[in-house]
Structure 1
Amino acid sequence: MATRGYHSPTRQAQSSATRRRVVVAAQECFQERGYVGTTMRAIAQRAQVSVETVHQTAAKRDLLLAAFTLTVSGEDGPGRLLDRPEPKAIFDDPDPVRRLRGMAGYVTGINTRVIPLWRAFEQAAAADPQVATEYADLITRMRSELRDALTVLAERGDLREDRPIAELADLLWLLVLPDQYFRLCEQAGWSVERYVAWLAESMLDLLLPSRHGSAS
């Protein structure tokens, strides 16, 4: 006789809470120690759980991706960035200049938080083929989301028409990468205010039709 699987909302909530504790602990460890310097035991100690619980939660490379996603979006799970409330509200602004300035500010906030994990991700990808695959998938998703966003702008008439959307998306991707924040703010000594102003103007110059004779 078949038996129906047992489902406990309380147990599921406890499991989700434990996973979040582990991911947050992994996030903090990766930020402080990098990928190589972070051990599963260190994550367990930070999360105040057993090492076995950490292993049951996810492999180390998967915890790195989960920590990165949590840092970017505040959520532990997949989902398009522009479907999340804050960027969606910015993107829905009818004023194209205000919209891009808002997106520049939002991207700056992400980059200030994520740069340690971004660099850990790059270092891990250089040493671990499986992490390299996840890193490549992440890059592909980022570029795809930007192409989708620019397609919407084009449909609204808010995007220049003299260059292909795919090319504009690649150039926008290059601008918003955490690498640029790291080079300018942490290596060249720029203030965050100077960086966000540069990013906003660069996005406006790249994308707006009014700056390229495509609109009045």
Structure 2
Amino acid sequence: MNVKVGPTHRQRQTAATRSQIAAAARQLFAERGYVATTIAAISERADIPVQTVYSALGSKANILQEVTRLAIEPLAVTKTWVQAAAGTPEEGLRISAGLQRHQYEQMYDVVTTHLEGARVDADIARITAGILTNRERGVGAYLESIAAHLRPRMDAARALDIYLTLVLPEVYRSLVLERGWTPTQYETWLGNQLVHQLLR
């Protein structure tokens, strides 16, 4: 009989420390920006010694990576794309609009931190490029699966170009953060645009 063994007390402590560091760092990145936030400031905000911060996560780039992992985890991105694939193309695109809304609603600050960090930190640039590549691959695979339903003379590659443009963070910032749209209004608009621009 197989007995499932949970994490040890030490492993739980390590995970809690990493989470505490990430929470403090996320606050500071949002308040001060990636560049202006120091490991010392993260240590002070988290109330964890600097040496422990380094031993737990190693660098500011690694801390941002942990912030991102913890922010993405509750979104269940893979599960959402499975649901999208199970519906009609219109339902799938509206589900993807909902996913994009929730991503920005819950972690827009993390997205902008990545964009800032990528301009000054080669590690962040590499990590950010990897995230964007994985997203593009996932969306591209979905659009390939509904290629027969796309507008005439539109292939999956062109559909991907349009999709990625519509979901740019600058669009969310303009409509929701600057123009006062609600996240629900953004989701509805995005879903309508995806359906209108991409499907027959």
TM class by shorter chain equals 0.7 to 0.9
Deviation of 1:22 (Å): 1.8
Establish whether residue 104 from structure 1 lines up as the match of residue 97 from structure 2: yes
Instruction: Report if the CA contact (8 A) 1:34-1:117 is conserved.
Output: no
**1:143, 1:170 within 8 Å by CA — same for their partners in 2?**
no
What is the distance in 2 between the residues matched to 1:158 and 1:24? 43
Letter in 1 for 2:189: W
2-side partners of 1:123 and 1:191: how far apart?
Answer: 25
Task: Spell out, residue by residue over 1:31-66, the C-alpha distance to the aligned partner (whole angstroms, 9 max, x if none).
Answer: 222102222122223333211111112210121132
- Tell me the number of residue pairs that the alignment of Structure 1 and Structure 2 aligns: 193
Cα distance in 2 between the residues matched to 1:54 and 1:74: 24
Structure 2 gaps, min length 5: 1-6
Higher helix share: 2
Corresponding residue number in structure 2 for 1:4:
none
Unaligned runs of 5+ in 1: 1-7, 76-80, 212-216
* TM-score (norm. length: structure 1): 0.76
| Partner of residue 56, structure 2 | 57
> Which residue pairs with 1:67 in the alignment?
67
Q: Which stretch of structure 1 is more off in the superposition, 88-97 or 98-107?
A: 88-97
Following superposition, the deviation at residue 89 of structure 1 comes to 5.6
Equivalences for residues 129-168 of structure 1 within 5 A: 129-154=122-147, 157-160=148-151, 162-168=153-159
Q: TM-score, normalised by structure 2?
A: 0.82
Counterpart contact for 2:34–2:116, Cα < 8 Å: yes
Aligned equivalent of 1:204: 195
Match of 2:105, as an amino acid? T
**2:180 is aligned with 1:184:** no
Matched, 1:121 2:120: no
**Equivalent position of 2:41 in the other structure:** 42
> Take 1:20 and 1:103, find their aligned partners in 2: how far apart are those partners?
28
Q: Counterparts of 2:190 and 2:32 in 1: how far apart (Å)? A: 29
- Aligned AA for 2:122? P
The whole-number CA distance in structure 2 between the counterparts of 1:134 and 1:71 is 15
